[in-house]
A and B are shown apart, each in its own frame.
Chain A
Amino acid sequence: MATPVISVERVTKRFAGHTAVRELSLTVPTGGIFGLLGPNGAGKTTTIRMLLSILMPDEGRVVLLGQQASGRQLSERIGYLPEERGLYPKMKVLDHLAFLGEAKGLSRWDARKRARSWLERLGLGDWVMKRVSDLSKGMQQKVQFAGALQHEPELVILDEPFGGLDPVNSQMMRDVVVDVARSGRTVLFSTHIMEHAEKMCDRIVIIARGQKVVDGTLAEVKQEGGKSHVALSFTRNAQAAREVLADRSLVQSVDDAGASAEVQLAAGADGERLLRALVAADVGLARFEVIEPSLHSIFIAKVGSDGARPEARPEVA
């Protein structure tokens, strides 16, 4: 196997009062899109900060790009978009993006050239000489995004990259991320929105309470869930359907979305029995399909309802 682009070995990070990350190991192979999933407060941001040597692990070690060097020493080869991100509001857009490029080691001239071309590419060509504070929030996010990518890093780390974006901009960013991965580079992004991960990731890791609970390719993770899931959507008599789904001899768990639901069948039950019961209860069905579990239901099953912790923001101390 080729040298992994990220290798995290039994890393632990404690803050005053709690352990944010506990003996976490993960390996990110070169190329493709890697999803770091978990509920709020699971330790995603702390893990990412340790990758970039913004924080130092208390135990264990991180190897990036196969080098014995810190994330900061390798920062020319890494692009980073933090979850908590901002810009200098009074700077001109071009100056700002060029400054971010220079901070990544580009020469002044090169940084300005690349900044200009990225702004064109993201549809901000008319805004280069405007102040950052004149941009809309979505436009500012594009500038930040460009800041993480313009120096063509081998490894791109994005912490909750699609948060707060409207569907058009979100799609645009996703296209860019897919482009980056297609060019042979590696993208790691964290999210708690499973739909994004399901559509984009080749591999995922789910962490909860600072520990890893799922690790593998998307296909492996889904296969492990088996074909015991049924996707349903109702046209009539949803209340009656709910009573059927409450039968624990038939159904182990329900992810109820109102007009539709995804259920995990109980051990020993099968899809046919469930279908008969629903028809007998006079439920109108628009969809009844035995499926692989969605990432969402795997996530809920693995993380559980106590997976989300209130102390969401990692504090450095």
Chain B
Amino acid sequence: MNKILAVIRREFIERVRTKSFLIGTFLVPVMMGTFAYLPQMLAKRETGARTIIVLNGSNGSAGDRVASALSGARIGAGVQAKPRFVVRRIEAAGRTEAVRDSIVSLIGLREGPLDAPDGLLVLTEEAVSSGKLAYLGSNVTSFRDMNALERTLEPVLREERLHRQGVDQSVVEAASVRLDLKATKVTQGKVTGQSAEDSFWLAYIINLMMYMTLLLYGIQVMTAVIEEKSNRIVEVLISSLTPFQLLLGKVIGVGAVGLVQLSIWGGAGFYVTTVLGRQSGPAEIAAEGTAPSFSLPQISMELVTVVLVFFVLGFFLYSALYAAIGAMCNSQQEAQQANTPVTMVIALGMISMFALINEPSGTLARVLSFIPFFAPIVVPVRFAIAPLPALEVALSVLSMIVGILLVIWLAARIYRVGILSYGKKPSLGELWRWIRTA
């Protein structure tokens, strides 16, 4: 037992002392903070209102409606809201093309008159009826500006067309109320106050976190095995410890480093999303200033437990596999190829999230939860979307434990033979012989 402890301690201390661990551990929270602040910083960078010329070649009230809608568009909400567009209107019925060409020459001029226009909106009779509007501007690559224009103009033109068909103005207004679906998550009969976006983000973050940590620390175990094999210290070690003890110490030591790093990241993430996150939001592409601010989803104690338990189980499963692969290979380059199948399986688990998010309790989700290779990612993700019955979680844990025992049994046999074998990578047939004879 003391020997295993010595291996665990060595793996842990030697890893925690490295520069890459320190940088990784503390840089990631800094990056998380940056991502939380970035949208705010970008929003602040946004320049003031765009100057838009409305070149009106249409009849009736279309020109008025468009000009007033654009003038009314705001950035932000409440008292801080600022006008999004400065509108100049030019009447050019019958000669739109000629006027258009002369105005185009002014667009985007930096050293021209101070109020050089950013763009030109050409409103013709045909545009009103077909909805095909021409906009010529220096800012057409701005997703935000184009989105804002579209969302502002679309209802206005619809109203104009209805009006021309003789529909009463009050009816048009009453019919033009925009849909605002407010989805709220209900958990076991209780309204949580958590929005649909919050649930998605939480599931997404957990998905990514599980994927990254399983991959990262699994590969660390593999690298450690190859290192011991290639610098030939392994023979001294296994004259004192059984290969299984050595493997166990290594897996626990690396896993402990992973848990420490996860805890630091988790703590920092919690701080960033609760304390800082409430002050800003993620990049909200929607042009309207009424974008809901991103809030940290409610994280229950049950969810935290599920995440940690499945990280530990998943780590044991995958690190045993990675250790076996490490033992089969002679160099890191060789291992990079050999580990592809395992890495693909982890990636499949991650990708399956996009199927789960629509139907977190569907047949696919249930089946995946009982397959040990997918459960470590699938179960926490499902749990984040909607808590699972305790029995289902327990059964999943049980299936994982059975899977882990099987995988460790196989991996330990491959490891035992592999760490002393140098030369060619074993074929599948040789591998099978290793498993049988070990």
Contact = CB atoms under 8 A, between A and B. Distances in A.
B421 A86 contact: no
Interface in B56-82: none
Interface string B235-250: 1111111100000000
Interface in B209-254: 227-228, 231-233, 235-242
B239 A72 contact: yes
B239 A80 contact: yes
Nearest to A99: B10
Contacts of A109: none
B235 A85 contact: yes
Interface in A59-91: 71-72, 75, 78, 80-82, 84-91
A185 interface: no
A166 interface: no
Given A54-B420, A75-B239, A317 B3 contact: no
A54 B232 CA distance: 14
A82 B235 contact: yes
A193 B228 CA distance: 29
Say which size band chain B's interface belongs to: 20 to 34
Given A82-B236, A316-B417, A89 B3 contact: no
A82 B3 contact: no
B3 A86 contact: no
A86 B231 contact: yes
Contacts of A105: 2-3, 240
A224 interface: no
Most buried by B among A84, A91, A95, A105: A84
B330 to A, nearest CB: 12
Contact of B7 (A54, A84, A103, A313): A103
Interface residues of A, number: 34
Given A102-B6, A313-B422, A87 B235 contact: no
Where chain B touches its partner, the secondary structure class is helix
A118 to B, nearest CB: 15
Question: Among the interface residues A52, A99, A148, which one has the most CB atoms of the partner chain B within 10 A?
Answer: A99
Contacts of A144: 236
Contact of A317 (B7, B228, B240, B434): B434
Contact of A103 (B18, B237, B417, B426): B237
A82 B234 CA distance: 10
B101 interface: no
B236 A85 contact: yes
A243 interface: no
A99 B239 contact: no
Nearest to B17: A90
Contacts of A104: 240
B430 interface: yes
B432 to A, nearest CB: 11
Interface in B334-389: none
B6 A82 contact: no
Contact of A54 (B6, B13, B235, B426): B235
A316 B3 contact: no
A100 interface: yes
A87 B6 contact: no
A39 interface: no
B14 interface: yes
B151 interface: no
B428 to A, nearest CB: 14
Contacts of A99: 6, 10
A293 interface: no
Instruction: Give the one of B18, B233, B426 with max A CB within 10 A.
Output: B233
Interface of B: 2-3, 6-7, 10, 13-14, 18, 227-228, 231-233, 235-242, 417, 420-423, 426, 430, 433-434, 437
Interface of A: 16, 52, 54, 71-72, 75, 78, 80-82, 84-91, 95, 99-100, 102-105, 107-108, 144, 147-148, 313, 315-317
A-B pairs, top 5 by smallest CB distance, nearest first, are A102-B6, A86-B232, A86-B231, A82-B235, A103-B240
18 contacts: A81-B236, A84-B235, A86-B233, A88-B228, A88-B231, A89-B231, A99-B6, A100-B236, A102-B6, A103-B7, A103-B237, A105-B2, A144-B236, A148-B236, A317-B417, A317-B421, A317-B433, A317-B437
